[in-house]
A and B are shown apart, each in its own frame.
Chain A
Amino acid sequence: MNAVAPSGGPTDARKVRDAWVVCGLLAAATLVNLLLDRYVSVTSQAMIYVLAVVVASYTLGWLPSLFSAVAAVTLFNFFFIPPRYTFQVEAQENLFALFAMLAVALVISHLGTALRRETEAARMNERRARQLQELATDLAAATLPAEVHLLAQRHLGRAFPGPCVVALLDAHGNLQLQPEQESSYRDGMLACIREAATLGPGTGRWPGLHAWYLPLRAETHTGGAACVQNVSAYDHSGREHAQAICAQAGQALWRLKLSAGMHEAQEQSQWHRAQSTFLAAISHDFRTPLAAIMGAASSLQTQRDRLPPPQQERLLATILSESRHLATLTENTLQLGRLDHAGDLRMDWESVEEIVGSVLARVRQRDVAHRIQSRVPAALPLIKADPVLLAQLLENLLDNALKYSAELIELEVALKDHRIELAVHDRGDGIPAGEVLAIFEPYRRGDRSGQRGAGLGLAVCRAIARAHGGELSVHARPGGGSTFMLELPVDVAQPATESA
């Protein structure tokens, strides 16, 4: 912890320690002088005391230094200056030596203290710079205002001993404070946000407080406020550090706000673009069969008597088949919209054989030549599925195959590991390699063999497959044509088969 002790007197423990250091030094000096008494002059003995005082002054504060100087002079006087073992001072010279020693002690103590303070300040600045750097790195990785909140709170707490509180402004400009913090912090925080400046001791604003109130601010945006308790008006660098932390947090909040806004705008415009593409494509796909129906119906209405019966039959058949096409289109459009808001799938245990059967029953009406051949193995496991959606998927695939190929179509079901594979093999023209991805996009149909596709068909199919935790893919077949492969997961835990 880089906790910085608040300004104020040294603790009692330190006072005791300082006293012991002073006593020790002076006792040692006195002992050395007594031992050397016979061999050296009084001047040298004075130097020994000076040495002790210098050491004491350098390492201790000014009060212990002063005390050590006075004590040193007193001891020197008592033990070594004649008349010895009295406090009398005889010669003027000795008196002068005393004052000189006092002065030396004070000067050294002053220099030592200043030096120590500078070293300490340098170390503190370095620690703070490192902390700011660390904070900047952490904030760069933050993606949520809550993370910024946490980081600001943690770093202020590390840098200052007093309780530190950080509160963010929510979307409506309300300060988000814990209920128990409400009364004590709200006013100060709101004031510093309003004034866009730090309040509290040393700032010239609200100097009577014992806490700094700092806005989390960048440019013109204020994202919240912080409060650092128990601070001193003279701690300029501390206040600057707190301001730097808050400014960084403010920057981070502003960045998050900007990027959120940008993301939203981007999504909005993407959605609009998709929407208009979708609508344009849909109206095209709907208009074509509608035009065919209207043409056939109006022709029947106005020219019926003049049309030969086979011609009339053909027109009626057109109306029916185009209406059917419109119905499929509507179905797919609705379904795609619904699958976008997943969640209303009606999953139940379903049998693939059964779904295949119901789809074949419907598709056979369009498959008079019986071109679809199915192979479904017996006793397949049940799957969790929405049967209506799966049936729609399969119907789309088979309809496509009927449309795009004139030959045999195989529907093959197989059980592989923990999934069921449904493959629809056709002998159509195949899909150009470059279009394999595009055919699954809504309305990116390759204009194959002049046929109209269901536009949305394959996009819906893939969406349905994925809503079931499965996948739909297409592969070229050796010998021409394509295979559409639907893979569906099989739950390992099948429902209990024992009935009562």
Chain B
Amino acid sequence: MTLRVLVVEDDQAIRSMLQSTLAVEGFEVQTAVSVSEARALLRHAPPDVVLLDLGLPDGDGSELVRDARQQTGIAVLVVTARHQESEKVKLLDAGADDYLTKPFSVGELLARIRVALRHRGTALSPAVTVYESDGLHVDLAARRVEARGLPVHLTPTEFELLARLVRSAGKVVTHRQLLADVWGPEFVDHTHYLRLYMGQLRAKIEQKPDEPRYLLTETGVGYRIAAA
């Protein structure tokens, strides 16, 4: 089955570049130049992935994210310029799957689409319980973590934090989502918890905590565990 991508972008040059690039990769590409056009398309022919540009002329896109959320199995990737942190975090919190910062390379774009498609429908399929990547092994069911073949002892909070990232492996998880899921909704503003616990986690798991391989920082947005 051909996977369908909806590109929502008002700039003609970027739109046609994305269209041809994705078509070459075997996707069926639809395009929309505005949020309203995209919503209409979403209803008629639901795509598998939506590439949503921030800063469209007719709206901020959060309604589109909400629409896409209501139809299971649609992944939403937000495309932003740098310095639009607050908007992109808002869309991620609203349910967008991931984001890309302009200017991005085609390689980056395809990698993000692959990760987003892998997670699509996680609500239906059994949740990810095992993470295995290049020397790091995490088994959520057995609560076991091994780095470079050696068992790692984690505190319950550290484990919860790692588990939350593992369940979305390869995808960015915003500060807010992490704080709400690990500590509880009343702690969504306590970003310093994250800084401290991520520091401790990296110290236990990473070989070189100041240049992490697994626990990646998305500056100003959140964290991501490297795609398995």
Report which of A349, A387, A495, A497 forms a contact with B219, defined as CB distance below 8 A: A387
Are B103 and A323 in contact, CB atoms less than 8 angstroms apart?
yes
Tell me if B212 and A357 are in contact (CB < 8 A): yes
A136 at the interface (CB under 8 A from B): no
A349 touches B195 (CB 8 A): yes
Instruction: Type the 1/0 row for A190-231, where 1 means its CB is closer than 8 Å to any CB of B.
Output: 000000000000000000000000000000000000000000
With beta carbons under 8 angstroms apart, the residue of A323, A354, A356, A358 that contacts B195 is: A354
- Extra 13 A-B pairs, beta carbons < 8 Å, given A354-B198, A376-B209: A320-B105, A349-B195, A351-B196, A353-B209, A358-B218, A361-B212, A361-B217, A379-B199, A382-B192, A382-B196, A388-B219, A497-B196, A499-B183
Contact A358 B219 (CB under 8 A): yes
Task: Report if B22 contacts A (CB, 8 A).
Answer: no
Contacts of B211 in A (CB 8 A): 356-357, 360-361, 374
- Which residues of A have CB within 8 Å of B103? 323-324, 327
Q: Is the interface of B mostly helix, strand, loop or mixed?
A: mixed
B83, A388: Cβ atoms closer than 8 Å: yes
Report if A331 contacts B (CB, 8 A). Answer: yes
| Chain A residues whose C-beta falls within 8 Å of the C-beta of B187 in the assembled complex | 499-500
Question: Could you tell me how many residues of chain B have their Cβ less than 8 Å away from some Cβ of chain A?
Answer: 31
Decide: B203 and A349 in contact? CB cutoff 8 A.
Answer: no
Do A500 and B210 touch across chains, with their CB atoms under 8 A apart? no
Taking beta carbons and an 8 Å cutoff, which residues of B are in contact with A?
82-83, 85-86, 103, 105, 157, 183-184, 187, 190-193, 195-199, 202-203, 208-212, 216-220
- A: interface residue count bin: 20 to 34
Which residues in B have their C-beta under 8 angstroms from that of A360?
A: 210-211
B210 contacts which of A324, A353, A499 (Cβ < 8 Å)? A353
- Compute how far the CA of A124 lies from the CA of B83 in the bound complex, rounded to whole angstroms: 71
17 interchain pairs (CB within 8 A)? A320-B105, A327-B103, A346-B85, A346-B220, A349-B192, A357-B212, A357-B216, A357-B217, A358-B216, A358-B217, A358-B219, A374-B208, A374-B211, A378-B203, A388-B85, A495-B192, A499-B157
Indicate the member of B183, B197, B208, B217 with the most A CB atoms within 10 Å: B217
Complex Cα–Cα for A273 and B6 (A): 48
Known contacts A351-B198, A382-B196; A388/B209 CB under 8 A: no
Give the chain A neighbours of B220 by CB distance below 8 A. Answer: 346, 387-388
A357-B210, A358-B219, A387-B220 known; A350+B203 contact, CB < 8 A? no
- A355 at the B interface (CB under 8 A): yes
Q: Please report which residues of chain A, range 432-464, place their CB below 8 angstroms from some CB of chain B when the two chains form the complex.
A: none
Query: With an 8 A cutoff between CB atoms, is A54 at the interface?
Result: no
Question: What B residues does A349 contact at CB under 8 A?
Answer: 191-192, 195
Q: Which residues on B sit within 8 Å (CB–CB) of A391?
A: 219
Cα–Cα, bound, A320→B192 (Å): 37
The reply to whether B195 and A351 contact each other, CB–CB distance below 8 Å, is yes
Q: A388 and B198: CB pair below 8 A?
A: no
Write out the residue numbers on chain A whose beta carbons fall within 8 Å of the beta carbon of B216: 357-358, 361
